[in-house]
Protein backbone atom coordinates (compact mmCIF):
# COMPACT_ATOMS: atom_id res chain seq x y z
CA UNK A 1 0.00 0.00 0.00
CA UNK A 2 1.35 3.39 -1.01
CA UNK A 3 2.02 5.84 1.78
CA UNK A 4 -0.78 8.20 2.82
CA UNK A 5 -3.36 6.06 1.02
CA UNK A 6 -6.23 4.75 3.09
CA UNK A 7 -6.45 0.93 2.99
CA UNK A 8 -9.29 -0.39 0.82
CA UNK A 9 -11.94 -2.35 2.78
CA UNK A 10 -12.28 -5.36 0.49
CA UNK A 11 -14.77 -7.70 2.15
CA UNK A 12 -15.13 -5.50 5.26
CA UNK A 13 -18.75 -4.44 5.73
CA UNK A 14 -18.60 -3.60 9.46
CA UNK A 15 -18.99 0.18 9.69
CA UNK A 16 -17.08 0.50 12.95
CA UNK A 17 -14.11 -1.47 11.63
CA UNK A 18 -14.04 0.64 8.48
CA UNK A 19 -14.05 3.96 10.36
CA UNK A 20 -11.75 3.02 13.23
CA UNK A 21 -9.37 1.22 10.87
CA UNK A 22 -9.00 4.32 8.72
CA UNK A 23 -10.25 2.48 5.65
CA UNK A 24 -11.48 4.17 2.51
CA UNK A 25 -15.09 5.19 3.13
CA UNK A 26 -17.55 7.04 0.92
CA UNK A 27 -19.71 9.01 3.33
CA UNK A 28 -23.35 7.91 3.13
CA UNK A 29 -24.28 8.78 6.70
CA UNK A 30 -26.87 11.36 5.63
CA UNK A 31 -29.10 8.36 4.94
CA UNK A 32 -29.67 8.31 8.71
CA UNK A 33 -31.17 11.80 8.61
CA UNK A 34 -33.23 10.85 5.57
CA UNK A 35 -34.72 7.80 7.34
CA UNK A 36 -35.58 9.78 10.47
CA UNK A 37 -36.98 12.76 8.57
CA UNK A 38 -39.20 10.74 6.25
CA UNK A 39 -40.59 8.96 9.27
CA UNK A 40 -41.67 5.67 7.71
CA UNK A 41 -42.00 2.93 10.31
CA UNK A 42 -40.85 0.11 8.02
CA UNK A 43 -38.37 0.78 5.19
CA UNK A 44 -37.25 -1.75 2.59
CA UNK A 45 -34.23 -1.09 0.36
CA UNK A 46 -33.96 -3.67 -2.46
CA UNK A 47 -30.58 -3.42 -4.21
CA UNK A 48 -28.28 -5.73 -6.21
CA UNK A 49 -25.55 -7.78 -4.54
CA UNK A 50 -22.46 -5.93 -3.29
CA UNK A 51 -24.04 -2.49 -3.48
CA UNK A 52 -23.40 -1.55 0.16
CA UNK A 53 -26.50 -2.96 1.86
CA UNK A 54 -24.71 -4.69 4.74
CA UNK A 55 -22.45 -1.70 5.41
CA UNK A 56 -25.53 0.53 5.51
CA UNK A 57 -27.24 -1.72 8.05
CA UNK A 58 -24.05 -1.76 10.13
CA UNK A 59 -23.90 2.06 9.98
CA UNK A 60 -27.48 2.34 11.27
CA UNK A 61 -26.79 -0.17 14.03
CA UNK A 62 -23.73 1.73 15.25
CA UNK A 63 -25.56 5.05 15.16
CA UNK A 64 -28.70 4.11 17.08
CA UNK A 65 -27.47 1.41 19.47
CA UNK A 66 -27.97 2.50 23.07
CA UNK A 67 -25.56 -0.19 24.30
CA UNK A 68 -22.74 1.31 22.21
CA UNK A 69 -23.46 4.93 23.01
CA UNK A 70 -20.27 5.62 24.92
CA UNK A 71 -17.87 3.65 22.71
CA UNK A 72 -19.38 5.10 19.53
CA UNK A 73 -19.75 8.70 20.70
CA UNK A 74 -16.98 9.91 18.37
CA UNK A 75 -17.46 7.34 15.62
CA UNK A 76 -19.38 9.73 13.35
CA UNK A 77 -17.18 12.79 13.86
CA UNK A 78 -16.37 14.49 10.60
CA UNK A 79 -19.13 12.69 8.72
CA UNK A 80 -22.21 14.23 7.10
CA UNK A 81 -24.62 13.18 9.84
CA UNK A 82 -22.86 15.53 12.24
CA UNK A 83 -24.17 18.41 10.13
CA UNK A 84 -27.77 17.37 10.76
CA UNK A 85 -30.13 19.19 13.10
CA UNK A 86 -29.89 18.75 16.85
CA UNK A 87 -33.14 16.76 16.78
CA UNK A 88 -31.46 14.20 14.54
CA UNK A 89 -28.11 14.18 16.33
CA UNK A 90 -29.63 13.63 19.76
CA UNK A 91 -30.93 10.25 18.57
CA UNK A 92 -27.41 8.85 18.31
CA UNK A 93 -27.07 6.06 20.86
CA UNK A 94 -30.69 6.41 21.99
CA UNK A 95 -32.41 3.14 21.05
CA UNK A 96 -31.97 -0.59 21.61
CA UNK A 97 -31.22 -2.27 18.29
CA UNK A 98 -32.00 -5.72 16.93
CA UNK A 99 -29.62 -6.42 14.03
CA UNK A 100 -30.57 -9.58 12.15
CA UNK A 101 -28.47 -10.74 9.18
CA UNK A 102 -30.10 -13.56 7.19
CA UNK A 103 -27.43 -13.77 4.48
CA UNK A 104 -26.13 -17.14 5.71
CA UNK A 105 -29.53 -18.72 6.36
CA UNK A 106 -29.48 -20.98 3.32
CA UNK A 107 -29.69 -24.71 2.82
CA UNK A 108 -31.05 -27.33 0.46
CA UNK A 109 -33.84 -28.62 2.75
CA UNK A 110 -36.22 -26.73 5.02
CA UNK A 111 -35.28 -28.56 8.22
CA UNK A 112 -31.62 -27.56 7.89
CA UNK A 113 -32.46 -23.99 6.90
CA UNK A 114 -34.83 -23.68 9.87
CA UNK A 115 -32.04 -24.95 12.14
CA UNK A 116 -29.73 -22.21 10.84
CA UNK A 117 -32.46 -19.62 11.32
CA UNK A 118 -32.96 -20.76 14.91
CA UNK A 119 -29.21 -20.43 15.43
CA UNK A 120 -29.21 -16.81 14.25
CA UNK A 121 -32.14 -15.99 16.54
CA UNK A 122 -30.44 -17.78 19.44
CA UNK A 123 -27.39 -15.52 19.05
CA UNK A 124 -29.66 -12.47 19.08
CA UNK A 125 -31.05 -13.52 22.42
CA UNK A 126 -27.58 -14.37 23.76
CA UNK A 127 -26.41 -10.85 22.92
CA UNK A 128 -29.27 -9.35 24.94
CA UNK A 129 -29.22 -11.45 28.11
CA UNK A 130 -29.37 -8.32 30.29
CA UNK A 131 -33.11 -7.96 29.62
CA UNK A 132 -33.88 -11.08 31.68
CA UNK A 133 -33.88 -8.96 34.82
CA UNK A 134 -37.19 -7.49 33.63
CA UNK A 135 -38.83 -10.83 32.79
CA UNK A 136 -41.15 -13.02 34.82
CA UNK A 137 -40.44 -16.71 35.31
CA UNK A 138 -42.45 -17.86 32.29
CA UNK A 139 -40.72 -15.31 30.07
CA UNK A 140 -37.32 -16.31 31.44
CA UNK A 141 -38.03 -19.95 30.55
CA UNK A 142 -39.07 -18.91 27.03
CA UNK A 143 -35.93 -16.78 26.71
CA UNK A 144 -33.76 -19.70 27.82
CA UNK A 145 -35.41 -22.12 25.39
CA UNK A 146 -34.78 -19.73 22.49
CA UNK A 147 -31.13 -19.33 23.46
CA UNK A 148 -30.64 -23.09 23.82
CA UNK A 149 -32.55 -23.77 20.56
CA UNK A 150 -35.08 -25.92 22.41
CA UNK A 151 -38.18 -23.86 21.57
CA UNK A 152 -40.77 -24.99 19.04
CA UNK A 153 -41.25 -23.40 15.62
CA UNK A 154 -44.18 -21.24 16.75
CA UNK A 155 -42.08 -19.76 19.56
CA UNK A 156 -39.38 -18.78 17.07
CA UNK A 157 -41.99 -17.13 14.86
CA UNK A 158 -42.80 -14.84 17.80
CA UNK A 159 -39.20 -14.36 18.89
CA UNK A 160 -38.48 -11.11 17.03
CA UNK A 161 -41.49 -9.29 18.45
CA UNK A 162 -40.96 -10.72 21.93
CA UNK A 163 -37.33 -9.61 21.99
CA UNK A 164 -38.38 -6.09 20.99
CA UNK A 165 -40.80 -6.01 23.92
CA UNK A 166 -38.14 -7.25 26.35
CA UNK A 167 -35.67 -4.61 25.12
CA UNK A 168 -38.30 -1.88 25.44
CA UNK A 169 -39.02 -2.85 29.03
CA UNK A 170 -35.33 -2.88 29.97
CA UNK A 171 -34.17 0.31 28.19
CA UNK A 172 -37.46 2.24 28.33
CA UNK A 173 -37.03 3.17 24.66
CA UNK A 174 -38.65 1.83 21.45
CA UNK A 175 -36.59 -0.56 19.36
CA UNK A 176 -34.87 -0.22 15.98
CA UNK A 177 -35.11 -3.47 14.01
CA UNK A 178 -32.56 -3.94 11.22
CA UNK A 179 -32.80 -6.93 8.87
CA UNK A 180 -30.13 -7.52 6.25
CA UNK A 181 -30.80 -9.80 3.23
CA UNK A 182 -34.33 -10.55 4.41
CA UNK A 183 -35.11 -12.52 1.24
CA UNK A 184 -32.04 -14.81 1.23
CA UNK A 185 -33.87 -17.72 2.97
CA UNK A 186 -36.91 -17.19 0.71
CA UNK A 187 -34.85 -17.34 -2.48
CA UNK A 188 -33.15 -20.53 -1.29
CA UNK A 189 -36.53 -22.04 -0.46
CA UNK A 190 -37.78 -21.28 -3.95
CA UNK A 191 -34.73 -22.76 -5.65
CA UNK A 192 -34.76 -25.93 -3.54
CA UNK A 193 -38.48 -26.63 -3.42
CA UNK A 194 -39.50 -25.64 0.12
CA UNK A 195 -40.84 -22.18 -0.70
CA UNK A 196 -44.17 -22.69 1.10
CA UNK A 197 -42.42 -23.74 4.32
CA UNK A 198 -40.15 -20.71 4.46
CA UNK A 199 -42.95 -18.30 3.49
CA UNK A 200 -45.23 -19.66 6.23
CA UNK A 201 -42.48 -19.10 8.80
CA UNK A 202 -41.44 -15.65 7.57
CA UNK A 203 -45.03 -14.42 7.34
CA UNK A 204 -45.40 -14.79 11.09
CA UNK A 205 -41.79 -13.97 11.98
CA UNK A 206 -41.76 -10.61 10.17
CA UNK A 207 -45.46 -9.93 10.54
CA UNK A 208 -45.52 -10.16 14.32
CA UNK A 209 -42.48 -7.89 14.69
CA UNK A 210 -43.30 -5.28 12.06
CA UNK A 211 -47.09 -5.15 12.26
CA UNK A 212 -48.91 -3.65 15.25
CA UNK A 213 -45.72 -3.69 17.31
CA UNK A 214 -46.05 -0.96 19.93
CA UNK A 215 -42.37 -1.30 20.82
CA UNK A 216 -41.03 -0.43 17.37
CA UNK A 217 -39.26 2.87 16.66
CA UNK A 218 -38.42 2.03 13.05
CA UNK A 219 -37.24 -0.83 10.90
CA UNK A 220 -34.88 -0.90 7.91
CA UNK A 221 -34.61 -3.99 5.74
CA UNK A 222 -32.45 -4.85 2.76
CA UNK A 223 -32.70 -7.53 0.10
CA UNK A 224 -32.48 -8.00 -3.63
CA UNK A 225 -36.15 -8.24 -4.62
CA UNK A 226 -38.96 -5.96 -3.59
CA UNK A 227 -41.57 -8.75 -3.38
CA UNK A 228 -44.11 -6.43 -1.75
CA UNK A 229 -46.92 -8.72 -2.88
CA UNK A 230 -45.55 -11.59 -0.83
CA UNK A 231 -47.87 -12.66 1.94
CA UNK A 232 -45.07 -11.97 4.46
CA UNK A 233 -45.71 -8.24 3.95
CA UNK A 234 -49.50 -8.34 3.96
CA UNK A 235 -50.97 -6.03 6.55
CA UNK A 236 -47.72 -4.37 7.62
CA UNK A 237 -47.85 -0.79 8.83
CA UNK A 238 -47.64 0.78 5.36
CA UNK A 239 -44.08 -0.36 4.59
CA UNK A 240 -42.21 2.05 2.35
CA UNK A 241 -40.32 0.27 -0.38
CA UNK A 242 -37.51 2.16 -2.09
CA UNK A 243 -36.35 0.13 -5.08
CA UNK A 244 -33.93 1.11 -7.84
CA UNK A 245 -36.92 2.66 -9.64
CA UNK A 246 -37.53 5.15 -6.80
CA UNK A 247 -35.72 8.49 -6.66
CA UNK A 248 -35.71 8.50 -2.85
CA UNK A 249 -32.48 7.00 -1.43
CA UNK A 250 -31.14 6.45 -4.97
CA UNK A 251 -27.77 8.04 -4.11
CA UNK A 252 -27.02 5.96 -0.99
CA UNK A 253 -26.32 2.54 -2.51
CA UNK A 254 -23.45 2.53 -4.99
CA UNK A 255 -21.06 5.35 -5.84
CA UNK A 256 -21.93 8.60 -7.61
CA UNK A 257 -19.68 9.82 -10.48
CA UNK A 258 -18.22 12.65 -8.39
CA UNK A 259 -17.44 10.20 -5.57
CA UNK A 260 -15.65 7.88 -8.00
CA UNK A 261 -13.64 10.76 -9.49
CA UNK A 262 -12.29 11.66 -6.04
CA UNK A 263 -11.40 8.05 -5.27
CA UNK A 264 -9.60 7.53 -8.57
CA UNK A 265 -7.61 10.70 -7.99
CA UNK A 266 -6.71 9.71 -4.43
CA UNK A 267 -5.49 6.28 -5.48
CA UNK A 268 -3.76 7.38 -8.65
CA UNK A 269 -6.00 5.53 -11.11
CA UNK A 270 -5.67 7.51 -14.33
CA UNK A 271 -7.79 5.72 -16.95
CA UNK A 272 -11.11 7.24 -15.81
CA UNK A 273 -12.90 6.72 -19.12
CA UNK A 274 -12.08 3.03 -19.12
CA UNK A 275 -13.20 2.71 -15.49
CA UNK A 276 -16.46 4.37 -16.50
CA UNK A 277 -16.93 1.98 -19.43
CA UNK A 278 -16.32 -1.03 -17.19
CA UNK A 279 -18.25 -0.18 -14.02
CA UNK A 280 -20.59 2.80 -14.56
CA UNK A 281 -23.92 2.78 -16.35
CA UNK A 282 -26.47 1.97 -13.65
CA UNK A 283 -29.52 4.22 -13.66
CA UNK A 284 -31.34 4.30 -10.31
CA UNK A 285 -34.37 6.48 -11.05
CA UNK A 286 -32.28 9.05 -12.89
CA UNK A 287 -29.25 8.84 -10.60
CA UNK A 288 -26.06 7.66 -12.31
CA UNK A 289 -24.42 4.93 -10.23
CA UNK A 290 -21.12 3.03 -10.35
CA UNK A 291 -20.79 -0.50 -8.98
CA UNK A 292 -19.14 0.11 -5.57
CA UNK A 293 -17.65 -3.36 -5.14
CA UNK A 294 -15.85 -3.21 -8.46
CA UNK A 295 -14.57 0.32 -7.86
CA UNK A 296 -13.08 -0.66 -4.49
CA UNK A 297 -11.31 -3.59 -6.16
CA UNK A 298 -9.92 -1.31 -8.88
CA UNK A 299 -8.55 1.01 -6.19
CA UNK A 300 -6.91 -2.00 -4.57
CA UNK A 301 -5.47 -3.74 -7.65
CA UNK A 302 -5.31 -0.94 -10.27
CA UNK A 303 -6.57 -3.55 -12.76
CA UNK A 304 -9.78 -3.50 -14.82
CA UNK A 305 -11.42 -6.89 -14.74
CA UNK A 306 -14.63 -8.62 -13.65
CA UNK A 307 -15.04 -8.31 -9.88
CA UNK A 308 -18.74 -8.04 -9.09
CA UNK A 309 -19.77 -10.85 -11.41
CA UNK A 310 -17.37 -13.26 -9.73
CA UNK A 311 -19.16 -13.01 -6.38
CA UNK A 312 -21.89 -15.54 -7.23
CA UNK A 313 -25.63 -15.06 -6.92
CA UNK A 314 -26.72 -16.47 -10.30
CA UNK A 315 -28.59 -19.58 -9.09
CA UNK A 316 -32.09 -18.10 -9.25
CA UNK A 317 -31.39 -16.46 -12.58
CA UNK A 318 -30.34 -19.81 -14.01
CA UNK A 319 -33.52 -21.45 -12.64
CA UNK A 320 -35.61 -18.83 -14.41
CA UNK A 321 -33.69 -19.12 -17.68
CA UNK A 322 -34.09 -22.89 -17.62
CA UNK A 323 -37.84 -22.43 -17.97
CA UNK A 324 -37.71 -19.39 -20.23
CA UNK A 325 -39.80 -19.18 -23.36
CA UNK A 326 -38.05 -18.96 -26.71
CA UNK A 327 -38.60 -15.24 -27.29
CA UNK A 328 -36.38 -14.52 -24.28
CA UNK A 329 -33.44 -15.83 -26.29
CA UNK A 330 -33.76 -13.15 -28.93
CA UNK A 331 -34.03 -10.46 -26.25
CA UNK A 332 -30.86 -11.74 -24.60
CA UNK A 333 -29.02 -11.73 -27.90
CA UNK A 334 -30.25 -8.20 -28.64
CA UNK A 335 -28.95 -7.04 -25.27
CA UNK A 336 -25.57 -8.67 -25.88
CA UNK A 337 -25.39 -6.79 -29.17
CA UNK A 338 -25.78 -3.47 -27.33
CA UNK A 339 -29.45 -3.00 -28.17
CA UNK A 340 -32.31 -2.13 -25.82
CA UNK A 341 -35.43 -4.16 -25.18
CA UNK A 342 -38.80 -3.01 -23.87
CA UNK A 343 -40.68 -4.62 -20.99
CA UNK A 344 -43.53 -3.82 -18.65
CA UNK A 345 -41.76 -2.68 -15.48
CA UNK A 346 -43.02 -4.44 -12.37
CA UNK A 347 -41.34 -4.09 -9.00
CA UNK A 348 -43.76 -6.50 -7.35
CA UNK A 349 -41.90 -9.65 -8.27
CA UNK A 350 -43.19 -12.63 -6.33
CA UNK A 351 -41.06 -15.74 -6.11
CA UNK A 352 -44.09 -18.00 -6.44
CA UNK A 353 -44.95 -16.28 -9.75
CA UNK A 354 -41.45 -16.50 -11.23
CA UNK A 355 -41.77 -18.76 -14.24
CA UNK A 356 -40.40 -18.49 -17.72
CA UNK A 357 -42.41 -15.35 -18.48
CA UNK A 358 -40.45 -12.72 -20.37
CA UNK A 359 -41.37 -9.74 -18.17
CA UNK A 360 -40.67 -11.62 -14.94
CA UNK A 361 -37.22 -12.68 -16.13
CA UNK A 362 -36.15 -9.21 -17.19
CA UNK A 363 -37.65 -7.48 -14.15
CA UNK A 364 -35.69 -9.93 -12.03
CA UNK A 365 -32.51 -9.18 -13.99
CA UNK A 366 -33.19 -5.48 -13.45
CA UNK A 367 -33.47 -5.83 -9.67
CA UNK A 368 -30.34 -7.99 -9.59
CA UNK A 369 -28.22 -5.53 -11.57
CA UNK A 370 -27.77 -7.45 -14.82
CA UNK A 371 -29.67 -4.81 -16.79
CA UNK A 372 -30.63 -1.21 -16.08
CA UNK A 373 -33.35 1.17 -17.25
CA UNK A 374 -32.30 3.53 -19.99
CA UNK A 375 -35.70 5.18 -20.22
CA UNK A 376 -39.17 4.64 -18.83
CA UNK A 377 -42.59 6.07 -19.59
CA UNK A 378 -46.12 5.54 -18.37
CA UNK A 379 -48.70 4.36 -20.91
CA UNK A 380 -52.07 4.15 -19.22
CA UNK A 381 -51.64 1.92 -16.19
CA UNK A 382 -48.42 0.39 -17.51
CA UNK A 383 -44.86 1.61 -17.06
CA UNK A 384 -42.75 0.68 -20.08
CA UNK A 385 -39.01 0.46 -19.55
CA UNK A 386 -36.22 0.31 -22.10
CA UNK A 387 -33.52 -1.97 -20.70
CA UNK A 388 -29.84 -2.26 -21.57
CA UNK A 389 -26.75 -3.89 -20.14
CA UNK A 390 -25.12 -1.24 -17.90
CA UNK A 391 -21.42 -1.75 -18.57
CA UNK A 392 -18.64 -3.95 -19.91
CA UNK A 393 -18.23 -5.96 -16.70
CA UNK A 394 -21.87 -7.03 -16.73
CA UNK A 395 -21.73 -7.64 -20.47
CA UNK A 396 -18.97 -10.20 -19.92
CA UNK A 397 -20.96 -11.88 -17.16
CA UNK A 398 -24.09 -11.77 -19.25
CA UNK A 399 -22.40 -13.59 -22.11
CA UNK A 400 -21.05 -16.24 -19.76
CA UNK A 401 -24.40 -16.94 -18.10
CA UNK A 402 -26.46 -16.79 -21.26
CA UNK A 403 -24.07 -18.91 -23.30
CA UNK A 404 -24.03 -21.53 -20.56
CA UNK A 405 -27.82 -21.47 -20.61
CA UNK A 406 -27.89 -21.86 -24.37
CA UNK A 407 -25.49 -24.81 -24.13
CA UNK A 408 -27.30 -26.55 -21.29
CA UNK A 409 -30.78 -26.00 -22.65
CA UNK A 410 -31.46 -29.21 -24.57
CA UNK A 411 -33.01 -29.52 -28.00
CA UNK A 412 -36.37 -30.65 -26.59
CA UNK A 413 -36.94 -27.24 -25.00
CA UNK A 414 -35.92 -25.45 -28.18
CA UNK A 415 -38.27 -27.60 -30.24
CA UNK A 416 -41.17 -26.71 -27.93
CA UNK A 417 -40.24 -23.04 -28.26
CA UNK A 418 -40.19 -23.40 -32.04
CA UNK A 419 -43.63 -24.98 -32.09
CA UNK A 420 -45.13 -22.22 -29.94
CA UNK A 421 -43.49 -19.49 -32.03
CA UNK A 422 -44.92 -20.97 -35.24
CA UNK A 423 -48.45 -20.90 -33.81
CA UNK A 424 -47.93 -17.26 -32.73
CA UNK A 425 -46.80 -16.35 -36.26
CA UNK A 426 -43.54 -15.01 -34.80
CA UNK A 427 -41.49 -15.49 -37.94
CA UNK A 428 -38.44 -13.72 -36.55
CA UNK A 429 -38.30 -16.06 -33.56
CA UNK A 430 -39.04 -19.13 -35.68
CA UNK A 431 -36.10 -18.21 -37.90
CA UNK A 432 -33.84 -17.68 -34.88
CA UNK A 433 -34.64 -21.02 -33.21
CA UNK A 434 -34.62 -22.98 -36.48
CA UNK A 435 -31.15 -21.66 -37.28
CA UNK A 436 -29.93 -22.54 -33.77
CA UNK A 437 -31.24 -26.09 -34.11
CA UNK A 438 -29.74 -26.47 -37.58
CA UNK A 439 -26.38 -25.20 -36.38
CA UNK A 440 -26.35 -27.82 -33.62
CA UNK A 441 -27.82 -30.71 -35.59
CA UNK A 442 -26.84 -30.52 -39.24
CA UNK A 443 -23.50 -31.11 -40.92
CA UNK A 444 -22.73 -29.36 -44.19
CA UNK A 445 -24.04 -31.26 -47.19
CA UNK A 446 -25.44 -30.65 -50.64
CA UNK A 447 -28.68 -28.68 -50.59
CA UNK A 448 -31.40 -31.32 -50.80
CA UNK A 449 -34.93 -30.07 -50.21
CA UNK A 450 -36.17 -33.47 -49.08
CA UNK A 451 -33.63 -33.48 -46.26
CA UNK A 452 -34.80 -30.10 -44.91
CA UNK A 453 -38.38 -31.26 -45.34
CA UNK A 454 -37.73 -34.29 -43.18
CA UNK A 455 -35.75 -32.24 -40.66
CA UNK A 456 -38.59 -29.77 -40.08
CA UNK A 457 -41.20 -32.52 -40.05
CA UNK A 458 -39.22 -34.23 -37.30
CA UNK A 459 -39.31 -31.02 -35.25
CA UNK A 460 -43.08 -30.61 -35.58
CA UNK A 461 -44.53 -34.10 -35.78
CA UNK A 462 -45.00 -34.45 -31.99
CA UNK A 463 -46.95 -31.21 -31.40
CA UNK A 464 -49.51 -33.15 -29.40
CA UNK A 465 -52.88 -34.80 -29.74
CA UNK A 466 -54.61 -31.47 -30.39
CA UNK A 467 -52.77 -30.92 -33.70
CA UNK A 468 -52.59 -32.64 -37.07
CA UNK A 469 -49.24 -32.39 -38.86
CA UNK A 470 -49.15 -33.55 -42.50
CA UNK A 471 -46.81 -33.14 -45.47
CA UNK A 472 -46.94 -33.39 -49.26
CA UNK A 473 -50.73 -33.49 -49.50
CA UNK A 474 -52.87 -32.05 -52.25
CA UNK A 475 -54.77 -28.87 -51.47
CA UNK A 476 -55.93 -26.04 -53.67
CA UNK A 477 -54.04 -26.23 -56.96
CA UNK A 478 -51.04 -28.27 -55.93
CA UNK A 479 -49.19 -29.99 -53.07
CA UNK A 480 -48.10 -28.09 -50.01
CA UNK A 481 -44.86 -29.06 -48.28
CA UNK A 482 -46.24 -29.05 -44.73
CA UNK A 483 -49.47 -28.33 -42.90
CA UNK A 484 -50.30 -27.92 -39.20
CA UNK A 485 -53.95 -27.81 -38.21
CA UNK A 486 -55.45 -27.51 -34.76
CA UNK A 487 -58.26 -30.01 -34.32
CA UNK A 488 -60.65 -27.45 -32.84
CA UNK A 489 -60.53 -25.52 -36.10
CA UNK A 490 -59.06 -22.29 -34.66
CA UNK A 491 -55.76 -22.13 -36.51
CA UNK A 492 -53.87 -23.60 -39.43
CA UNK A 493 -50.32 -23.31 -40.79
CA UNK A 494 -49.03 -23.83 -44.33
CA UNK A 495 -45.29 -24.13 -45.03
CA UNK A 496 -43.44 -24.15 -48.34
CA UNK A 497 -39.71 -24.92 -48.58
CA UNK A 498 -37.06 -23.91 -51.10
CA UNK A 499 -33.36 -24.77 -51.20
CA UNK A 500 -30.78 -22.28 -52.45
CA UNK A 501 -27.16 -22.86 -53.48
CA UNK A 502 -26.30 -19.14 -53.30
CA UNK A 503 -26.77 -17.66 -49.85
CA UNK A 504 -27.47 -14.19 -51.25
CA UNK A 505 -30.62 -15.49 -52.96
CA UNK A 506 -32.23 -16.82 -49.77
CA UNK A 507 -34.46 -13.78 -49.20
CA UNK A 508 -35.69 -13.91 -52.79
CA UNK A 509 -36.47 -17.62 -52.66
CA UNK A 510 -38.28 -17.35 -49.33
CA UNK A 511 -40.52 -14.69 -50.90
CA UNK A 512 -41.14 -17.00 -53.88
CA UNK A 513 -42.11 -19.83 -51.54
CA UNK A 514 -44.64 -17.52 -49.88
CA UNK A 515 -45.97 -16.44 -53.28
CA UNK A 516 -46.38 -20.10 -54.25
CA UNK A 517 -48.65 -20.65 -51.24
CA UNK A 518 -50.86 -17.76 -52.36
CA UNK A 519 -50.79 -18.64 -56.04
CA UNK A 520 -51.76 -22.29 -55.50
CA UNK A 521 -54.10 -21.50 -52.57
CA UNK A 522 -52.83 -24.42 -50.49
CA UNK A 523 -55.07 -23.21 -47.68
CA UNK A 524 -58.39 -23.82 -49.49
CA UNK A 525 -59.03 -27.09 -47.67
CA UNK A 526 -58.66 -25.32 -44.31
CA UNK A 527 -60.98 -22.50 -45.37
CA UNK A 528 -63.60 -25.05 -46.42
CA UNK A 529 -63.41 -26.60 -42.95
CA UNK A 530 -64.06 -23.19 -41.35
CA UNK A 531 -60.52 -22.33 -40.29
CA UNK A 532 -60.29 -18.54 -40.55
CA UNK A 533 -56.76 -18.04 -39.17
CA UNK A 534 -54.22 -19.49 -41.58
CA UNK A 535 -50.52 -18.68 -41.10
CA UNK A 536 -48.22 -18.91 -44.11
CA UNK A 537 -44.49 -19.58 -44.04
CA UNK A 538 -42.10 -19.38 -46.99
CA UNK A 539 -38.75 -20.87 -45.95
CA UNK A 540 -35.48 -20.89 -47.89
CA UNK A 541 -32.59 -23.16 -46.82
CA UNK A 542 -28.88 -22.93 -47.53
CA UNK A 543 -26.50 -25.25 -45.65
CA UNK A 544 -27.02 -24.48 -41.93
CA UNK A 545 -29.10 -21.37 -42.54
CA UNK A 546 -32.77 -20.61 -43.04
CA UNK A 547 -34.62 -17.44 -44.00
CA UNK A 548 -38.33 -17.15 -43.34
CA UNK A 549 -40.98 -14.94 -44.92
pLDDT band for position 417 (cuts 50, 70, 90): confident
- pLDDT at residue 128 above 60? yes
Residue 364 in contact with residue 373, Cβ under 8 Å? no
What CATH topology corresponds to 312-408? Answer: Arc Repressor Mutant, subunit A (1.10.10)
Domain 15-241: CATH class, spelled out: alpha beta
pLDDT at 222: 96
* Domain ranges for the chain: 15-241, 257-310, 312-408, 411-548
| Better pLDDT: 209 or 237 | 209
d(CA 490, CA 14): 63
CB atoms within 10 A of CB 492: 22
Q: Which of 230-234, 289-293, 343-347, 437-441 is predicted with the least confidence, judged by mean pLDDT?
A: 230-234
pLDDT at 203: 87
pLDDT at 355: 63
- pLDDT at residue 75 above 90? yes
Residue 164 in contact with residue 209, Cβ under 8 Å? yes
pLDDT, tens digit, for every residue of 38-68?
989 999 999 999 999 999 999 999 999 999 9
- In total, the chain counts a number of residues equal to 549
pLDDT at 232: 67
Per-residue pLDDT, averaged over 364-369, amounts to 90
pLDDT at 103: 93
- pLDDT at residue 324 above 80? no
Per-residue pLDDT, averaged over 261-269, amounts to 96
d(CA 527, CA 445): 38
d(CA 206, CA 203): 6
pLDDT at 380: 86
d(CA 154, CA 238): 25
Which helix (H) or strand (E) segment holds residue 43: the answer is: strand 42-46
pLDDT at 443: 47
**DSSP 8-state code for residue 375:** E
d(CA 39, CA 5): 38
Using a 10 angstrom Cβ sphere, with 0-12 exposed, 13-18 middle and 19 or more buried, the burial of residue 501 is exposed
pLDDT, tens digit, for every residue of 514-525?
999 999 988 888
Q: Which of 31-35, 59-63, 380-384, 509-513 is predicted with the least confidence, judged by mean pLDDT?
A: 380-384
Edge-to-edge, what's the strand order for the sheet holding 240-241?
97-101, 175-180, 216-223, 42-46, 240-241
pLDDT band for position 237 (cuts 50, 70, 90): low
- pLDDT at residue 226 above 80? no
- pLDDT at residue 317 above 50? yes
- pLDDT at residue 257 above 60? yes
Per-residue pLDDT, averaged over 163-186, amounts to 96
pLDDT, tens digit, for every residue of 434-458?
988 887 765 444 455 556 776 787 7
H-helix segments, 302-384: 315-322, 327-336, 358-368
pLDDT, tens digit, for every residue of 460-477?
876 777 888 877 777 777
Q: Report which of 236, 242, 183 is spatially closest to residue 213, judged by C-alpha positions.
A: 236
pLDDT at 359: 86
pLDDT at 156: 97
Q: Which of 25-29, 103-107, 228-232, 486-490 is predicted with the least confidence, judged by mean pLDDT?
A: 228-232
SS3 state of residue 475: strand
pLDDT band for position 1 (cuts 50, 70, 90): very low
Amino acid sequence: MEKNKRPVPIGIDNFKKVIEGGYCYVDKTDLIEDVLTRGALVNLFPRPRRFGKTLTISMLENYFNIKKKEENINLFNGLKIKEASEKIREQQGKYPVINLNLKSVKDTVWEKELYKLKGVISKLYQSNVEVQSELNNIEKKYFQNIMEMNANEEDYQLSLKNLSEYLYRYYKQPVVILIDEYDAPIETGFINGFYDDVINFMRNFFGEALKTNDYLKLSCMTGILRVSKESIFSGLNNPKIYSILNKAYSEYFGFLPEEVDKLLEEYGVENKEEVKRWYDGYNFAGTEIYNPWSILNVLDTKELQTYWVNTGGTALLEVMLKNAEGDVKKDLEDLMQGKTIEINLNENIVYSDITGSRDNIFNFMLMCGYVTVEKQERIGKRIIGKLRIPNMEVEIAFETIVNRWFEQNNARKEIEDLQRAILRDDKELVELILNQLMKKSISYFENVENFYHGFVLGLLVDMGENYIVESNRESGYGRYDMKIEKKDGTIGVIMEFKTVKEEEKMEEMAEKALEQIEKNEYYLGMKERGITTVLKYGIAFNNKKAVIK
